[in-house]
Amino acid sequence: SGDDVRYTRVMLKISGEALMGDQGFGLHPPTVERIAREIQSVHALGVEICLVIGGGNIFRGLQGSAQGMERTTADYMGMLATVMNALAMQGALESLGVYTRVISAITMNEVAEPYIRRRAIRHLEKKRVCIFAAGTGNPYFTTDTAATLRASEMDCEAIFKGTKVDGVYDKDPAKHADAKRYESVTYDEVLAQHLGVMDASAIALARENDLPIIVFSLDEPGGFRTILSGKGTFTRVH
Ligand code: UDP
């Protein structure tokens, strides 16, 4: 049962790469659908859900600029990539009967709503999943910062960061058999030890707003729901 879920409004942040499945690039519709089901199972408990999806499966500003593009142009392309991912997730969620809104930080009225804070809050109250697209709308930022910003604005209780591993480790668990997972870690420790949770500006903003970040594995079936019940393995950044 969902009785043990203590959250009423949460932010889920996933990278664009989470949507590409085993492909090296782009969108893998069965994977998008699998994650949509994870979201559906939490939505069914009545939890209000904000969602931010990255764009790294399609385009990253830093990669473009390393190849000679102007950084800001490359970053806008990265933001546009997140809109594609948002639309894919919207389609998957709606086909499962979950009502959604895509809300873009860059106005493009034909495909998404503009971001208006009070309107987004109203959508959440009506149990529509709000998919925040186009990052913060500014170059030089990431979707981790966008997730932290929107979570603060929407008054979310926590940010759930779905990754490939079940938390934050002292070193890369894929490379080191003796890597240790933290049960909990402070913002300052993440910053000082350069733990790869989120980029520094996102961590600083979360610290400023006392917004806990819960890092968990999205590969675990039913993982999102389990974590919302406070079970399973995860790392709490606070
Ligand atoms: N981006 C940006 N401003 C933002 C959010 C994103 O310029 O507020 C651009 C940036 O170029 C970034 C790309 O969009 O590389 C994709 O976002 P991100 O790298 O955060 O995606 P993820 O790694 O989560 O898939």
Confidence (pLDDT) at 2 = 54
Any known ligand binding at 141? Answer: yes
Confidence (pLDDT) at 3 = 61
Q: Which residues pair with 95 in a beta bridge?
A: none
Q: Which CATH number fits the domain that encloses residue 69?
A: 3.40.1160.10
Given the CA of residue 144, which atom of ligand 1 is nearest to it?
20
Sheet holding 48-53, edge to edge: 113-114, 100-104, 129-133, 48-53, 9-14, 158-163, 213-217, 235-237, 184-185
Confidence (pLDDT) at 4 = 84
Which pLDDT tens digit goes with each residue over 62-71?
A: 999 999 999 9
Given the CA of residue 14, which atom of ligand 1 is nearest to it?
24
Mean pLDDT of the chain: 96
Ligand 1 centre to CA of 173 (Å) is: 25
* Contact (Cβ atoms closer than 8 angstroms) between residue 158 and residue 214: yes
Name the residue range of residue 138's domain.
9-237
Q: What does the alpha-carbon distance between residue 164 and residue 130 come to, in Å, rounded to a whole number?
A: 23
Q: Is residue 126 part of a domain?
A: yes
| Percent of residues, the chain, with pLDDT higher than 90 | 95
Total domains in the chain come to: 1
* Predicted-complex ipTM score: 0.98
Q: Is residue 20 part of a domain?
A: yes
Q: Ligand 1 — pocket residues by CB below 6 A?
A: 15-17, 54-56, 60-62, 74-75, 78-79, 81-82, 135-136, 138-139, 141-146
Other C-beta atoms lying within 10 Å of the C-beta of residue 52: 29
Q: Is residue 2 part of a domain?
A: no
**Dihedral of alpha carbons 36, 100, 120, 126, sign:** negative
pLDDT along the chain (238 residues), means of 10: 82 97 95 98 97 98 96 98 98 98 98 98 98 98 98 98 95 93 97 94 98 96 94 96
